Amino acid sequence: MSRFVAILLAIFSLLPITVTAETPALSPPADSKTGTTPAAADYLKPVQTFDVPSVASGLFGLMKCDGEGNLYLAIPHDRTEEIHKLNAEGERLLLVPDTDPQVKLDARGSFTVGRNGELYEIAFPHDITRQVLVYKSDGKYKSAIKLQVGFEWLPSALAVFPSGDLLISGLRWRGNDKPRSPFTGIFSPDGTLVKEVKLEDDDALWEMAANGDSRVVPPWNRWGNLAVSSSEMETAADGNIYLMRWTSPAIFYAISPAGEVVRRFTVDPGDSFLSPSQMHISGKRIAVLFFQRESKEERMMVVDLEGREVGAYSGIRAAGKTNPGMLLFACYAADPERFTFISPKEDDKLQLLIAQPH
């Protein structure tokens, strides 16, 4: 299952929760009536489209961009995934192999792009070890980093500090018939665990999973925790990594290279029925897309690195007609502000749609 499909399935399984000072806010159920009416928001307008002839329309997974505006798109292939690198005009620049030449893989997970163009991808070999595969900027395999933690776990999100250290978050196995607990750690480039990072809301999220709360426990895994396993993270211009928990409002932690949480804030879409879908960082801004399945409502929130709101957009509008179309949010650039979305075409191909604020 691709990570993006997993996120969509997670959106379908939400139930209501009473928000307290000790409990993070999560979205109500997808089949509930619409919640509070959001405040007025602006719209984005399409300014350019580019065909992507190398990729057929269909299922695909995680989407990431590098500092040059290139898009990395994970495509399911032969029970695993391969990653296509496209430039800003939709032309394929390279293809990261779907298998590693030295390791037999059962699955591939989330990936991130370092500042030098190297690609880091979580990998699950045919044993209990967890690894990060590293590919050079030309797409060729470079190395495999064995994550040395001393216990069984399921990593799900990663990002790279400028030093080359990795921040990885996931769920730790606690034994049979027990809910997995959140774990976040900093790893050196050789895979050594440098420091475990304790996050303020993790105990509350674990308690929800321990109580079998279906807002965080997915129907396909009663010991899982969607708030953690659907987290996303990216490295910002200030050198910190920003980790987003899958809650509504979305909880953010700014984590320094030393493993300190320098900031915690939330991004509120103005409607508790909207759940975070994807987030991207550019410069000193973070763009977070929220989505509600039943109403098909979408809202793009843009905040600065302190969590202060910069903009809010309710969809894409052209010639007076609103077409939300923001669900496949691929890239974000802060200066000038541009949003890139993936849009399926009638000829079973894809196109990139570039939109800007009205």
- One pLDDT digit (tens) per residue for the chain, 358 residues: 334 333 333 333 333 233 333 557 675 544 444 444 444 579 999 999 999 888 776 667 788 999 888 999 988 766 667 899 999 999 999 988 766 566 777 888 899 999 889 999 999 888 888 999 999 999 998 999 999 998 899 999 999 999 999 999 999 987 777 778 999 999 999 999 999 999 999 999 999 888 888 788 888 888 889 999 999 999 999 999 999 999 989 999 999 999 999 999 999 999 888 989 899 999 999 999 999 877 788 999 999 999 999 999 998 988 766 665 788 899 999 989 999 999 877 777 788 999 999 8
What pTM was computed for the model? 0.88
Number of other residues whose CB lies within 10 A of the CB of residue 188: 14
CA distance between the termini of the chain: 37
Ramachandran angles phi, psi of 22, nearest 5°: -95, -15
Total number of domains in the chain? 1
The CATH number assigned to the domain holding 193 equals 2.120.10.30
Number of other residues whose CB lies within 10 A of the CB of residue 308: 8
Q: Which pLDDT belongs to residue 320?
A: 65
Beta strand 261-267 with 275-282 is: unpaired
Tokens for 253, please give them: 């932690």
Q: Alpha-carbon Rg of the chain, whole angstroms?
A: 19
Asked if 228 contacts 181 with a C-beta cutoff of 8 angstroms, the reply is no
Give me the domain span that covers residue 187.
Answer: 3-357
